Amino acid sequence: MKLNTVRFGEIEIEKDRIFSFVMPIIGFDALKKFIILDPNKETLFKWLQSIEDPALAFPIISVSALDIDYTIDLPDNVVENLKITNVESLLVMNITSIPQDNPKGTTINLLAPLIFNLDEQVAGQVVLSGSGYDISFPMFKNN
């Protein structure tokens, strides 16, 4: 399947790599189909590209690659909605915000991670209520 994106141009995607967001991204409830792109293997950043809106792509990162103390506890309804049967099938990513004029001011949304079930190809954004995590955690200590 070909997808003509605004950011990456025309890309070839395999249908079995498309995730259905059964728990939508906040503010983007109508968009359900996304794919994770890794156009630059040299960086920690990947992109969550919308299949339905070629102009929409979120920069995402796995905080497990960073020195951040980050533990999440998923409520039962999330486990059920995402059809989670084992943690090995999960991928946890976080949306980042990268200011064009100051990349060192990049922040990570730790409060609402994206949870991907790799076995079922379903995903969702989960708000970790009461966790104390920040929606704009600084990625770099000295910005």
- Partners of 90 in the beta sheet? 117
Q: Are 111 and 72 in contact (CB under 8 A)?
A: no
- Full-prediction pTM beyond 0.85? yes
- Residue boundaries of the structural domains of the chain: 2-138
User: Can you tell me the mean pLDDT for 101-130?
Assistant: 96
pLDDT digits (tens, 9 = 90+) for 78-98: 999 999 999 999 999 999 999
The chain-wide mean pLDDT, for the chain, equals 94
Q: Are 87 and 79 in contact (CB under 8 A)?
A: no
Q: Which CATH number fits domain 2-138: 2.30.290.10, 3.20.20.70, 3.40.190.10, 1.20.1090.10?
A: 2.30.290.10
